[in-house]
Amino acid sequence: MFNKKTIFLGFASVLLAGTVVAAPVHNTNITEEEVRKAQEAWGAALIQISQDYSEGGLAKAKETAEAVLNQAYGYAQGPVLFKPTLATGETTFRITQEGALAYFVGDNPEFGDSGFALKGWREYSFENAAVYINGDLALTMGHVHLINAAGEKTTVDKTWGFKKDDQGDLRIVLHHSSLPYSK
């Protein structure tokens, strides 16, 4: 039935030798390590914008913020689900990059933000309460802690959604940040 002779000649050496070369693997999935690095990078970027503002003023801060948004968020691919900590009313949700930039560095009368990234942030840490990984998308929820130049601490309740793109870079497609509820 089978053409056994041909098959035998072709693959016997493999069976006898038992040495199997590792096959190339293409894996599009997101990993916990990548998520952790993306969370660290977000904090480092926020502090960088704050420092650039201190040293180079609004122009430099805005330039850095634009670079951060281009790299770390998914606005180029489509709408981003972004509810910033201090956004409210008609401009609660910053679906476009313009709205996100306004939130971080202000200077946009349409949104009226004072510029969250300009508030002198110096230290950053996060605590994940739980992580959910599904394919190339990861969701995290937990506390983010920020310390400003005056040593004051702020904590927010934070949810992120990270999407791994075709180049292997993680982009924020979801970001819900809120102040802790005060009883």
Q: Which of residues 122-181 bind a copy of itself (CB under 8 A)?
A: 125, 127-137, 139-143, 145, 147, 152-155, 157, 159, 161, 163, 165-166, 173-174, 176, 178-181
The least CB distance from residue 117 to a copy of itself, in Å, is: 15
Would you say 66 or 136 has its CB closer to a copy of itself? 136
Q: How far apart are the first and last CA of the chain?
A: 78
Q: Which of 78, 104, 47, 92 is nearest to 161 (CA)?
A: 78
Whose tokens are 């990059």? That residue is 97
Binding flag, residue 13, a copy of itself (CB under 8 A): no
Stretch that binds a copy of itself, among 39-47, 50-58, 64-72, 121-129 (CB under 8 A): 121-129
Whose tokens are 């070369």? That residue is 21
Would you say 29 or 71 has its CB closer to a copy of itself? 29
Distance CA 91, CA 112 (A): 9
Q: Which of 6, 17, 33, 55 lies at the binding interface for a copy of itself (CB under 8 A)?
A: 6
With vertex at residue 155, the alpha carbon angle to CA 132 and CA 36, rounded to the nearest 5 degrees, is 35
Beta-bridged to residue 124, according to DSSP, are 146
The least CB distance from residue 165 to a copy of itself, in Å, is: 5
Q: Which of 17, 26, 55, 109 lies at the binding interface for a copy of itself (CB under 8 A)?
A: 26
Q: Which of 25, 33, 55, 109 lies at the binding interface for a copy of itself (CB under 8 A)?
A: 25
Q: Kindly identify the residues of this chain, within the stretch 48-77, that bind a copy of itself according to CB under 8 A.
A: 77
| Residue 144 three-state SS | strand
The radius of gyration of the chain from alpha carbons, rounded to an integer in Å, stands at 23
Report which residue type is found at 80: V
Would you say 63 or 95 has its CB closer to a copy of itself? 95
Q: Provide the CB-side half-sphere exposure for 108 (13 A, CA).
A: 17
Binding flag, residue 83, a copy of itself (CB under 8 A): yes
Binding flag, residue 15, a copy of itself (CB under 8 A): yes
